[in-house]
Structure 1
Amino acid sequence: MCTRILNNVDNKHVAVARNMDWEFHLDATLFLTPAGGQAVGMSKSERKKEGLCKSQVLKWKVKYTSVATLIGDQDNGFGFCDGMNEKGLVANVLYDTNSSFHQGPLKDNEKGLSVLRWGQLILDRFASVQEVVSYFSSPAREIDICLFGGNVPGDPNAPAQLHAAISDHRGDSAILEVHDGKLTIYHDRQHTVMTNEPDYQTQLELATYWRYQWNQTDTLNNTPVFTVPGGHTSVQRFERASYYRLLQNTDLMNVDRVAQVGAMISPCKVPQGFEALHPMNVEECLEKKAGITFNSFTLWTNISDCRRKRYYLQSNNNIQTVWVDIPKSLEQARAITLDTPFRASQTMGDIMQDMTQVKNNPLHIA
């Protein structure tokens, strides 16, 4: 699964890191999308699957240039994973085993939105966390947005059960979860760490326990225990990420906040080839249906530098690191897929010149 850490120790230089974990390899595609034009909230195949007509699908104007990591391909569709816009607003979409989305027909004032395009909507339309929170929680909206689930692009057997973490260049933060089609928002700049499960309210309760253990609460702990949990599960990664995020010396100056958040997220990576049960003979165990658990491993890490508007992708396949700076002006969308040939090229650094001009962001096409 995945881990997200917001480094807002220094309000003048905010950075966000996110590990993308999956049970097998998926290619990442970086998309630069210009401001202007219209976007639509579902692909044609998604709309047909949900039994909706065109007028029932959400549409919006693209206000801001953005860069995003998508998974999937042209044949099977794309889904939003992670990204940042020109205002320094960051959206991280992670797997959420507890999420459940809209079921049944839409009412007259409701519009459908695919959860696979949720993050792109946020980057296209909003400049701050407060704007997002106000929009989704306002009772005065003319329309209600109903999120529809789907399947993870590249893995047709995995339902797209997702929640979102958003943050901005001021260090504000919010977690957005959907249960039974109803949106719950946790809005607080202290919500700096998120993993996949349990629900975020329970994650906060876990954090309270560990904050006390580390003497980070108002209640004094006379015998603090400065330990960090090991293990690869969502709960263990949440606790470990919180440990490195919370125990920071806020008085230190001249710290590179991008490198700092990269170090925070690193202990939450899961190496390739990791298996919890370490079977001696995989084929024999599979034949006997011994219940082997094949665990997810970290495919890559995204880091958003909200001050410089620079967006990094660090591969966990070959430690390849590339980045894109969001340009001040962009006339046409650009894209690049970090596939096997790209990884073999060992390209490092700024890849703007390697990106190919494309007509549209696929998440804007009906």
Structure 2
Amino acid sequence: MCTRIFNNFNKENLTTARNMDWATELPTSLFVFRNEKNTPMVKTGTSPQNENSLIWTAKYNSVVTMVGDERKYGASDGLNSAGLMANLLYDSNASYERKDGSSCKNLDVFCWLQFVLDTCCSVQEVVEKFSKEATPQIQIIGGIVPGSTKPASLHLSISDKFGDSAIIEVNKGKYVIYNNPEFRVMTNEPSYAKQIELNQYWRWQWSNKNNFPSNTLPGGTFPSDRFARASYYLNHLYTSVSTDDSLAQSKSVVMNASVPVNFKSGDSNHPNIAQTLWTTISSHNDLKYFFCNSRTLGNIWVDLNIIDLFPAPVSRLILVEEIDSNFINKSLYGFKNNDFEATKDPFKAN
């Protein structure tokens, strides 16, 4: 299970934080995509490419957390140079099939986030691309989580430097879009429609409208428990006075909704309750992206304002490496723009 929060109380200090939870460790890297004006990056949404593949040209630079390795990468979380943040979270109810698929352009679910960051500068632009009226119509194609044997059932959250937020679910190939700046907390389950109902309940429970207000919070690992905790703390913060203050707030709230490393759920009926592998926090205004590995004590960060420090149009920094079925978590600290290495674009069109 995963948790995402959007701290948008102060429009000058907007931040988003996200936990990535998974039952097993996953190979993980940071990728930076530097869009060269003279040689724009043209990408494809499926591999191998065919006549129905969605093809696009990147407009923006981005830093993206990828799971997997050279055999198959999946874009999971990232920030672009327009201040747009995107996160993929697990959604057991997602279903990507649709009967009119042949008339659509196909987009692999693990290219979905990269397409959004490459081509969009705002939440509203993303919403327009996946609306009923969009041309071309885009069909999400499912698959297996890279580095895993689990099917990729996912939904997308987006937030921007204008204080806007949206969640996009896929139900039988059709997009269900929830677009409202007030939609600031999300977990994997239940559907976001149900999460809105939960939020309304808890907001009333904590408000002055309740003659017998209760600040009791569920402490469990179920998504609804963590939704309530994250919502409570996020809605009881003082307005941030600086970007650093907002980043610290977001990190502390989302980590309060995390699951300890090597957690044993003890319940075979809920295998999706899993340890938090890593946490990311982004500044929409300052274009800084922070990565916190749960298995190491160090935090690292990347600054998209200093894009020339990266050695190539596509650069990679390995964070968790799988060697002979063992996972090596790199103990990294601090500012990392200088430590990336040139690599191939995993989404490059032929």
> Do Structure 1 and Structure 2 share a fold, with TM-score over 0.5?
yes
**Residue 110 of structure 2, aligned match among 116, 122, 139:** 116
Q: Give the paired residue count.
A: 338
Task: Give, in whole Å, the separation in 2 of the partners of 1:364 and 1:209.
Answer: 46
Alignment of 1:153-164 (within 5 A): 153-156=146-149, 158-164=150-156
Code of the residue aligned with 2:79 in structure 1: it is M
Q: Could you list the per-position Cα deviations for residues 103-154 of structure 1 after superposition, in whole angstroms to 9, with x for gaps in the alignment?
A: 456334x111111110101000000111111222151x33211111111111
Code of the residue aligned with 1:170 in structure 2: it is F
**Residue 266 of structure 1, aligned match among 255, 275, 285:** 255
Specify the alignment match of 2:279 in structure 1: 301
Specify the alignment match of 1:234 in structure 2: 223
User: 2:136 matched to 1:143?
Assistant: yes
Specify the alignment match of 1:51 in structure 2: none
Specify the alignment match of 2:41 in structure 1: 37
Code of the residue aligned with 1:200 in structure 2: it is Y
**Residue 56 of structure 1, aligned match among 31, 52, 58:** 52
Code of the residue aligned with 1:315 in structure 2: it is N
TM (norm. structure 1) is 0.87
Alignment of 1:160-239 (within 5 A): 160-215=152-207, 220-239=209-228
Does the CA-based 8 Å contact 1:275-1:294 persist in structure 2?
A: no
**Residue 121 of structure 2, aligned match among 115, 118, 127:** 127
Deviation at 1:359, TM superposition (A): 3.5
Task: Give, in whole Å, the separation in 2 of the partners of 1:292 and 1:185.
Answer: 27
Task: Give, in whole Å, the separation in 1 of the partners of 2:329 and 2:214.
Answer: 45
Does the CA-based 8 Å contact 1:320-1:343 persist in structure 2?
A: no
Q: Secondary structure at the match of 1:155?
A: coil
Q: Which moved more, 1:294-303 or 1:257-266?
A: 294-303
Which structure has the greater CA radius of gyration?
A: 1
Does the CA-based 8 Å contact 1:175-1:186 persist in structure 2?
A: yes
Q: Could you list the per-position Cα deviations for residues 60-82 of structure 1 after superposition, in whole angstroms to 9, with x for gaps in the alignment?
A: 1100000000001112x011110
Q: CA RMSD in A?
A: 2.2
Deviation at 1:43, TM superposition (A): 1.5
Task: Give, in whole Å, the separation in 1 of the partners of 2:285 and 2:91.
Answer: 29
Task: Give, in whole Å, the separation in 1 of the partners of 2:59 and 2:259.
Answer: 37
Code of the residue aligned with 1:96 in structure 2: it is D
Identity %: 39
Deviation at 1:273, TM superposition (A): 2.1
Specify the alignment match of 2:333 in structure 1: 348
Specify the alignment match of 1:364 in structure 2: 348
Q: Secondary structure at the match of 1:116?
A: helix
Specify the alignment match of 2:246 in structure 1: 257
Does the CA-based 8 Å contact 1:276-1:294 persist in structure 2?
A: no
Task: Give, in whole Å, the separation in 2 of the partners of 1:62 and 1:295.
Answer: 36
Code of the residue aligned with 1:332 in structure 2: it is P
Deviation at 1:364, TM superposition (A): 3.3
Code of the residue aligned with 2:18 in structure 1: it is R
Unaligned ranges ≥5, structure 2: none
Task: Give, in whole Å, the separation in 2 of the partners of 1:294 and 1:112.
Answer: 28
User: 1:73–1:343: structure 2 CA closer, same or farther, 3 Å change rule?
Assistant: closer
Task: Give, in whole Å, the separation in 2 of the partners of 1:338 and 1:260.
Answer: 24
Deviation at 1:333, TM superposition (A): 1.2
User: 2:30 matched to 1:23?
Assistant: no
Task: Give, in whole Å, the separation in 2 of the partners of 1:292 and 1:127.
Answer: 37
Alignment of 1:320-335 (within 5 A): 320-330=298-308, 332-335=313-316
Alignment of 1:53-92 (within 5 A): 54-75=50-71, 77-92=72-87
Unaligned ranges ≥5, structure 1: 48-53, 279-289
User: 1:364–1:233: structure 2 CA closer, same or farther, 3 Å change rule?
Assistant: farther
User: 1:73–1:248: structure 2 CA closer, same or farther, 3 Å change rule?
Assistant: same
Q: Which moved more, 1:165-174 or 1:141-150?
A: 141-150
Code of the residue aligned with 1:211 in structure 2: it is R
Task: Give, in whole Å, the separation in 1 of the partners of 2:143 and 2:331.
Answer: 34
Task: Give, in whole Å, the separation in 1 of the partners of 2:7 and 2:19.
Answer: 14
Specify the alignment match of 1:281 in structure 2: none
Deviation at 1:346, TM superposition (A): 2.8
